[in-house]
Every structure is written in C-alpha cells, then in structure tokens.
Amino acid sequence: MKTFRRLQNINQFFKSFSVRPALFSIPAVMALAAALFEALSLGLLIPLTNAILGQDTVAIRSLPFANTALGWFPKMAASDSILYGVMIVLVFTAAVVKVLLQYGSRTSAAYLIRDFTHRARCRLFEQYLSYGKLFFDKYNTGHLHQVLVTFTQQVAYHFSQCQNFLIYLFLLVIYIVLLCAISWKLTIISVMIFPVLYFALNWVIAKIRRSSEDNANQERELGKKIHNVLSCIPLVKAYTQEKFEKREFSKMSQMIRMFEFSIDKKLNFMSPAQEIIMLSGILLLMLCVGLLVAKDGTSSGIGAYLVYFVVLRRASASFGSVNNLKGEIAAVRGPLREIGAILMNNDEFIVQEGCREFADLGEKIEFRNLTFSYREERAILKNLSFSINRGEMTAIVGPTGAGKTTIAHLILRFYDAPQGTLLLDGVDIREFTLASLRRSMAIVSQDIHLFNDTLRSNLLYGIGPGVGEERLTRIIEQARLTNYVRELPSGLDAIIGDRGVQLSGGEKQRVSIARALLKNADILILDEATSALDSETERIVQEAVQEVVKGRTTIVIAHRLSTIKNAAKIIYIENGMILECGTPAALLESKGKFYQAWTEQKMV
C-alpha cells in the first residue's frame, strides 16, 4: 500500500509540472500489447516443444485455431515438417512483435520523462523568479542551482529506471496465467517464493530511502560550500585559506561519494539476492516436477514442464524488476523532497500580484504606521509614518542596520509591507501589478548587480531593443562613462566579467546610473550609491547622480551625509524608528541626532 501511495504522490508531482500522467497510457498500452504477444509466443511454444519431443503433431493440430487454418491450407496439414516450420515462424514473429512493442513502450516513456525534466526545470526557474527577496535571503544560490539542475536530473534518471515497471508488471501477470495453465499445483508452490523475496528485500529499500535523504542533505551543504567559496574567492586568498577550503570540500565530497556508493551498493545487491532466492525456489520446483513425472510414469508432459521453467525464469526476472521499483522510488525520495520544498513555499515567499496598473506618481508615497519584520521575533521597522512628495528628493539617513535599505525594498516590493501601511497616491501598493510598479522605478545601489556579459547588454538589460545609438551615447556621457568606453578595445561589446570584475567600483556605479537613466523611471532610489568610493570617484559619480535626479521623485539612502545636502526632506531613523524629520537646515539648527552625525562626519 505504501508503494501505491508513493505512486499517487508521484502522480501529483507530475501534475504540478503541467505533465499529464494520462500520456503515460501510450507506453502502458504498448507494454500491455507486448505482454500479450509474449503470452502468444510462449503459448505456441508449449505444443511445439511437446510435438518435437514426442515426434507427434497431435498437440499442434489440437490447437483451437489449427482446424480452421489447416482447412485453408491442406498441404500444410499433410506435412509435419511444414507444420513445424510454420509454428516456429509464428513463435518467432510473436517474439519479434513483442520486442518491437517493448522498444516503442520504452522509447515513448523516455520521451515523456525527458519532456518532464525540461518542464520541471522551467517550472522551478519560473517559481524562483516569482518569489520575493525573502526566499533568496533564506536559500543560497548554490543550493538553488543544485535543485534546478542536479536534482531534476536525478529525478529523471530514477523515473527513467521506473519506466519499465508497466512492461514487467503486465508480463508478470501474463506469466502467472501461463504458469497456472501449465500446472496450478506447481504455481501454488512458485507463488510462495514471491513473498519471501519481497520481505527479504524490504529492509534494503528502507536503507536506500534513508541514504537518499542523507545524500540530498549533504549535496545541499556542498552546494552552499561551493557558492560561499567561489563568491568570496578574494577573501579566501587574502587569508590564505585555500588548503583549508580544499580539505573541507574534499570531506564533503567524500561524504557524498559514500552516500552515493551506499545507494548503488544496495541497489546492486537486490538483483543477486533475488537470483539466489529464485534459484532456490526453482531447484525445489525441479524436485517437485521429478516427483510428478515419476508418479505419472510417463514423460508425455515433459515439454510443458520445460516451458514452465522458462516462463518461471522470466516471471522471476519480471517480479524482480517490479520489486526494484520500490528501490528506485526510495532512491529518488531525497531529490523529490528538495524540489517539493521549493514548490511548497508559495504562501511564505510569494509576492502577490495586484490588478491595477500603476502609471506615474501623482502626489506622494506614504508610509502609515508601518511595522515590518523578516522574522516574527524581531521588528526591523517600527510604526513608521512619513511621506515622500512627487518630484522631490527625500533622504533617509541613520546608522548601519537602522532599516534604511528595507524601506527601499518595500517600495520596490521585494518584500510585502502589511496591508494599508504603504500607499502610492492613497492606494495600497499591493493593489498594483508588479510589472507596472517596477517599470516606474529604478534603483542605484552600493551592491551593483552585473552579468558576465558585454557592457552593452548590461546597460540595456530590461530596457528593450528600442534604444538608439544616439541616445545610448548621450546617456553614457551623462553617466560619465565616455572615457572608460573609449579605452576598451571592443567598446560597448567588451565582456566585463563575472559580477563586473573588469570594472572599478566607480565604473560599476556609473554603469548602474546609466542603466537608471536609460530606464527613464519616474521614481529613483539611490541606496548608498557612493558610500564605498574615494573622494575623487565620489565627485564624478555625484555629477552623474545630479543628471539622474532632475525632475524625478528621488529617495536617497545615505550614510555619507554630504551626498544629501540638496534634499528637500531628511528622515533620520535609528533602530527602525523615526527620530527626526525635516529640511537639512531645520535639522542642523535643532542640533539633534542628525546634527550630531553631521558634525562627526565633518570632523573625520
């Protein structure tokens, strides 16, 4: 029952990837037809064997269809040798048709499995993109890559091993019917072997299942290790930790090797164990056949007994393959669990779409008593209430960890604010579609995201193909990138490396600024855009920033207070709470928290 429940779960699993399990009826029908032709082949083999051993064609002539066929072809009825030849041709033809149908069944099943793998990858990738930033805060990219590529391949591999299940199941049914037809007494003894075989291997299945889960856990940890090391390679080298990381990687890889070998070892053990048990059963049956023949005192049915052992041997192989299905399902348990964990996180990580289209900001962005936390036990923002007026620069300042960047991410809907706490022109931000909302926003942050692609592709990412060379050149000049582009041998078609490694910090910032200018968004967010730059580079980037903010609703998140002297409003937050709010002049005059921070930076 457990196996069938697992099969039902797998059926639901297929449906979650828009794969119709009904399509698998095609290889199933072909498998059933192959089993029927196997029955025909073996059924014809019994009278043929008896006729050859007894040198008498009575067994052949007594077949149900023989009288009709012999009436049509009288010459065949007159010659035993022709009759033998025809029977051999029929047995061979039925066997060939069976093989062709089995090939068709396996091939069609393989096609469906590969199609499922493709759909699974696409579905998972789509799911990744549908989640908010909270999902990517929880899962590292190494693990997500492993689920997307490695685990889907493992699931496909084990499902491909399961594709023979129906073929062998139908064959097993046919074989049991044939065995009963030949000798029901021997079949009763034979059937007693199968429960012994089933229970003898059941403990192996449980061990395979545990090893599969352990292996999936270890692969998740290895994926995390790979991501951590490769994404922080300068740190590894700066602290000369290459040997340490090699040892750690080797240990984790060794653990995976051990788990994988453990699964292989147990899977490989199943076949020889089945063979030994079946051989013992067959030898016992041979003894019974000897006793039956001795009791009858005649060898007239020896041909049927020979075919019986042929059928029994094939039945044991089919039973073994059917029983192996449990092993394959157990082996795929770990990868399925990891994939399922990604798909089952909708409620926790999904950012729900609204139904209204956002055009442009008409009046203001408003926070109303907003309290927000990533985890329930700790609030990041506490009861925030303020507004950001259209067309003005509003600066949000405060110490590190105050919650400044979280405010920007809530406006971009990387995370969802509580209902009714964040409004655009009086409308809850959750009511707008994500696409229309983000089309009207651009962000320039300290952490610049760049692809390992050409400079042109990075500048135009998400902008669309309608940007002419003239406008692109003008934007590059406004972003103070012209000299850099001229120095590149390939110009805009130069590859900038992984995460833009070929660019300096200032150049990365200017690329991000150029991208924001090209987007021409109504709302601009500058999140610590110059905090990591030296004074000269900051001056150049500030010139570019001034080009960006003209005529736009601008939110500047700053640690360096010199960058927000032109702001219309400054909001000072600390520990997620607003402590001060006003114009730069008013806050300096009040000599509160902002004045204290300003004075400290002026003295540095």
Is 378 in a helix, a strand, or coil? strand
Rounded to whole angstroms, the Cα distance separating 155 from 146 reads: 12
Rounded to whole angstroms, the Cα distance separating 598 from 604 reads: 10
Q: Judge contact between 284 and 189, C-beta under 8 A.
A: yes
What pLDDT does residue 368 have?
93
- Of the listed ranges 6-20, 29-43, 106-120, 220-234, the least confidently predicted one is 6-20
Mean pLDDT for the stretch of residues 345-353: 73
Output 182 or 18, whichever has higher pLDDT: 182
Q: Which helix (DSSP H) or strand (DSSP E) does residue 558 occupy?
A: strand 553-558
Residues 6+ apart with CB under 8 A from 170: 31, 32, 34, 35
Q: Judge contact between 527 and 557, C-beta under 8 A.
A: yes
DSSP 148: I
Rounded to whole angstroms, the Cα distance separating 25 from 14 reads: 14
Output 53 or 111, whichever has higher pLDDT: 111
Mean pLDDT for the stretch of residues 572-591: 88
Residues 6+ apart with CB under 8 A from 257: none
Please report how many Cα atoms fall inside a 13 Å half-sphere around the Cα of residue 49, on the Cβ side: 18
What pLDDT does residue 238 have?
66
Q: Give 493's pLDDT tier (boundaries 50, 70, 90).
A: confident
Residue of 33, 274, 46, 42 lying closest to 170 (CA atoms)? 33
Residues 6+ apart with CB under 8 A from 192: none
428 has a pLDDT exceeding 90 = yes
Q: Give 503's pLDDT tier (boundaries 50, 70, 90).
A: confident
Query: Across 156-160, 182-186, 258-262, 424-428, which has the greatest mean pLDDT?
Result: 424-428
Residue ranges of the chain that CATH labels 3.40.50.300: 353-603
Rounded to whole angstroms, the Cα distance separating 131 from 415 reads: 9
What residues are paired with 445 via a beta bridge? 527
Residue of 545, 535, 537 lying closest to 506 (CA atoms)? 537
359 has a pLDDT exceeding 60 = yes
Q: Give 38's pLDDT tier (boundaries 50, 70, 90).
A: confident
CATH number of 353-603: 3.40.50.300
Query: Across 21-30, 336-345, 484-493, which has the greatest mean pLDDT?
Result: 484-493
Q: Give 591's pLDDT tier (boundaries 50, 70, 90).
A: confident
What is the layout of strands, in order, in the sheet containing 441-445?
A: 441-445, 523-527, 553-558, 393-397, 569-574, 577-582
Output 389 or 82, whichever has higher pLDDT: 389
- Of the listed ranges 187-191, 206-210, 296-300, the least confidently predicted one is 296-300
604 has a pLDDT exceeding 50 = no
What pLDDT does residue 22 have?
66
Q: Give 68's pLDDT tier (boundaries 50, 70, 90).
A: low
CATH class belonging to 2-208+271-348: mainly alpha
Residues 6+ apart with CB under 8 A from 108: 26, 27, 30
Residues 6+ apart with CB under 8 A from 554: 392, 393, 394, 523, 524, 525, 526, 548
CB atoms under 10 Å from CB of 458, counted, come to 23
432 has a pLDDT exceeding 80 = yes
Output 238 or 180, whichever has higher pLDDT: 180
Mean pLDDT for the stretch of residues 423-448: 88
Query: Across 76-85, 154-163, 504-513, which has the greatest mean pLDDT?
Result: 504-513
Residue ranges of the chain that CATH labels 1.20.1560.10: 2-208+271-348
Rg (CA), the chain: 37
Q: Judge contact between 522 and 440, C-beta under 8 A.
A: yes
Mean pLDDT for the stretch of residues 80-103: 79
What pLDDT does residue 496 have?
82
What pLDDT does residue 298 have?
47
The type of residue at 116 is F
Residue of 451, 362, 373, 378 lying closest to 415 (CA atoms)? 373
| Two tokens, residue 153 | 């391949």
Residue 414: phi, psi to the nearest 5?
-65, -35
Q: Judge contact between 578 and 381, C-beta under 8 A.
A: no
The beta-strand segments (E) located in 316-457 are 364-372, 381-389, 393-397, 422-424, 427-428, 441-445
443 has a pLDDT exceeding 70 = yes
DSSP 481: -
Q: Judge contact between 480 and 510, C-beta under 8 A.
A: yes
Rounded to whole angstroms, the Cα distance separating 409 from 527 reads: 10
Determine whether 588 is exposed, middle or buried from the number of CB atoms within 10 Å of its CB (0-12, 13-18, 19+): middle
Mean pLDDT for the stretch of residues 20-39: 78
pTM assigned to the model: 0.68
Q: Judge contact between 12 and 145, C-beta under 8 A.
A: no
What pLDDT does residue 603 have?
47
- Of the listed ranges 18-32, 38-52, 191-205, 368-382, the least confidently predicted one is 191-205
Q: Strand pairing of 523-527 and 553-558?
A: parallel
CB atoms under 10 Å from CB of 602, counted, come to 9
What pLDDT does residue 370 have?
92
23 has a pLDDT exceeding 80 = no
| Two tokens, residue 326 | 């449990």
Q: Judge contact between 83 and 67, C-beta under 8 A.
A: no
Mean pLDDT score across all residues of the chain: 77
216-250 pLDDT, tens digit per residue, is 778 777 877 777 777 667 667 666 777 888 888 88
61 has a pLDDT exceeding 70 = no
What pLDDT does residue 89 have?
78
**Cα–chain center distance at 146:** 8
